Structure 1
Amino acid sequence: MGDCLMGAAGGRAAVEISVGGGNRTSGVMVSYPPNTPPEVLRDTVMQIHNADYFGVLFTVRNKGRTPITVDRVELQVAPGVTLYVPQGGVVGDTLPKRLESGEKLLCGIEYIDVISTWNAVNDVLKRQAQKSVAYAYLAAGKKIRSRNSIAIGSTHGSDIEDKPRSAA
C-alpha cells in the first residue's frame, strides 16, 4: 500500500516496500511480514525457496485505468543518499516498464548493498537507524513515495512500517 499519485491522462500508481528473496531463474519471489529479523528471513528464504537472491523488494502497481511507464525505482537510505534499482534489474522486472491498468512490477536491490550503504552513512554521519522509503518515477515526470518504510541497521533488524492512513 503506497501513496497514489495521478500520472499523465489519469494513470495512478502506488509503491510498496518489503524484504524478501527469490530465485532469479524460476522467477519465484517471496516477502515476509514486518518486524521479522533479516537473519531469519534470509535463512528461511534461502533454505525453503532455493533462493539465490535476498534483498529489499519494491512493488509498483498501476491503480488507474490508463497505462503508465515506470522509469526508475530507488531507496532513500538517508537524506541525500539513494540506491537505485539498476536499469537492467538485479531481480524482477527490467526498467523502464510499461504497466497497463491493474498490472504491477516487482524489482529489488541486494540486501548487502543496502546494509553496506547504511553502515557507510552511519560511520560518516554518526546517525542512528532511520526509516528509509522507496520512490518510483514515472515517464510522465511524476514521483511517487512509498507509504511504508523500512528501518535499516536497527537493533531490531529491518522493520517495515506502514504510515497510518489519514482520516478522509
Structure 2
Amino acid sequence: MSIKSGTGTRWGYAVAVWGVLFAIPSFLWAMGSTFGARSTVAPELVRLAQDRVPWFLAVLWVTGFLKLAGAAIGLGLTRLRGRLAARSLAFCGGGAAVLLVWHGGLFVVHGLLVETGAAAVDPDLAGLTRWYLYLWGPWFIAGGLAFAAATAAHVRPVGRRFAATGALGALLLSLASTATGLG
C-alpha cells in the first residue's frame, strides 16, 4: 500500500483527535461524573450512569476504549506499513466511516422530523432532540467523513476493496440492529 502525505495524513490525524475528544465523555461518565450529560443525553442513560449500574458502566468503559481504538486507526492510516496492516486499517476505516455517518444521520433525520412537526416526541425531550440534531448527529457524521477521507487517501485500489467490505459489513450490521430495535 502506498502512503500519501499532505491532506490525507491530516485526515488521519483529524480522526485521531476526534476519537480522543469523543472518548473523554465516556470515561468521565464511567467514573461518576455527569458533566455535559444532563442536557445532551437521554435521561434514561444519565440515570444509569448516576445509579452506577454495573453493566452500563462497562458499556461506557468499552465505548471509551473503542473510541481510543478509532483514534489509533486514524494514526495508523497516516503510516500504513505492510499489506496486512494496510488492509486491516482500510477495513476498519471503511466500517467506521459507514457506522458513524449512518448513526449520525439517524440522529439528524429524526431531529429534522421532530423540528418540522413530522414526528412527535414527549415535550420534555424536545430540547434533547435538538442536542442530537445539532451536536451529536453532526459530531458522528464529522467523524465518519474524517474516517472516509483518511481511508480513501491512504489506500490503493486493492485496499479499497477491504474498505468497501468493511463499509458494507458496517451498513448491514447497522440495518440489522435498527430493524431489530437494538441500535
Q: Common fold, TM-score beyond 0.5?
A: no
> Which structure ranks higher in relative contact order (CA pairs < 8 Å, sequence separation ≥ 6)?
2
Larger Rg: 2
Structure 2 length normalisation: TM-score?
A: 0.26
Structure 1 length normalisation: TM-score?
A: 0.27
Instruction: Return the structure number with greater strand share.
Output: 1
